[in-house]
Structure 1
């Protein structure tokens, strides 16, 4: 069984154009994500998927593995799927979709996210998994850029939302809230199924692609990790992540 990390990366962004090439303590952000993913014990290969020659050239410069993809892809997931096809992965091979704007990604969380999927291949129960982190900063609960997730007693996702979930009716009630981290793992077989699903009603409302799976009756296993992975959404986020620990 192969376990391949594919990092979709695009140059255009309404809020931060050229974000993958922004320097984080002297290195392009996409390089930091790539190098961290390479350190995961379970991973057999790491590939960057892009449709932009500037990103392609930058990755080649640091000797990274990069594949040029079609500009017609609707989403990062479609870009990941195209690369998985080009690599000739088998139906039970595992594809890990890592966002290219998480320069503090801890490779240990990649080992965690694929663990239940390996079991799922054996019993056909799970074909997709993702990560969550217990929120420590209360400000992250209310902010819509931080996606929240709830899950059942076994860890199966119930819902993802930009709103605070669950909502505590009683102010005195104390409970944990979990932030969804943008790391997904799926079998190659399920990745192809997922790409063919129509956009869901809740997905369109929340603008969260993972809701498409839930709306169509597919289970997502949520793995709670102790390793946070802050995203860079805006140029001012660079200074924030540079202050955090860059080395593992």
Structure 2
């Protein structure tokens, strides 16, 4: 595909049922949203990084550490709606939705996921996944699992264990993959996606990407190495992230 600009948008909202004010939560003295922004800025393929929010506190903090920030409507139902609104007047060919709760995401994961969609003529979105090992809790519903075909196109995402099981089984090692919160959209499709009605599977699983599959579009799965990345879903996750930073250092 012909590439113009690649834009990365980090959606950030203040209100959260489980963790209000999460983007501004301090991790080793630095706001989480700043840590995510700094990871994105390290990716050479990205032309511009934007923080999209509906909260003046987040907007002001983003500007204070040098980020480009835009205010979006509080009526946006999802992060995808927010990023689509943020780039609606920007000419680009690729739009990255980088979740604001992944403060340790590797720049290499972002780069490889971008490359995945650039090389593919059938998929409209690419997203990274990594193998789950026996030390992880497969039944954790905060973590989406995924199965995909031999060409690495997603078949299904679920909060349940897929392939079906009640626990990690060594005989199925190599089949369990978990999803990492990053989406790389072809910009033309992003405009279509936000106009599609919410789907039944999406509402059942509470996973927005299922709307893409239910409407017959392809999602390219990019397998990446398991990293130290810990998504922050609850306040107690902050300690786990800080522990990794203290062990590995700020340059991990």
TM-score class normalised by the smaller sequence: over 0.9
Point out where structure 2 has 5 or more consecutive residues left out of the alignment: none
Count of aligned residue pairs for this structure pair = 242
Q: Which of 2, 11, 31 lines up with 2:5 in the alignment?
A: 2
- SS for the counterpart of 1:143 is coil
- SS for the counterpart of 2:126 is strand
- SS for the counterpart of 2:43 is coil
- The two structures have a TM-score, normalised by structure 2, of 0.92
Aligned to 1:14: 17
Aligned to 2:67: 64
Aligned residues: CA RMSD: 1.6
Partners of 2:116 and 2:38 lie apart in 1 by 24
- SS for the counterpart of 1:173 is helix
Partners of 1:31 and 1:178 lie apart in 2 by 28
- SS for the counterpart of 1:196 is coil
Partners of 1:214 and 1:143 lie apart in 2 by 23
Partners of 2:63 and 2:170 lie apart in 1 by 54
Aligned to 1:146: 143
Partners of 2:62 and 2:165 lie apart in 1 by 46
Aligned to 1:247: 251
- SS for the counterpart of 1:140 is coil
Shift in CA distance, 172/36, structure 1 to aligned 2, threshold 3 Å: closer
Alignment of 1:28 with 2:31, yes or no, is: yes
Q: After TM superposition, what 4+ stretches of structure 1 lie above 4 angstroms from structure 2?
A: 168-172
Cα contact 2:230–2:240 (8 A) shared by 1: no
Point out where structure 1 has 5 or more consecutive residues left out of the alignment: none
Cα contact 1:133–1:178 (8 A) shared by 2: yes
Partners of 1:241 and 1:230 lie apart in 2 by 6
Cα contact 1:84–1:188 (8 A) shared by 2: no
- SS for the counterpart of 1:213 is helix
Aligned to 2:216: 217
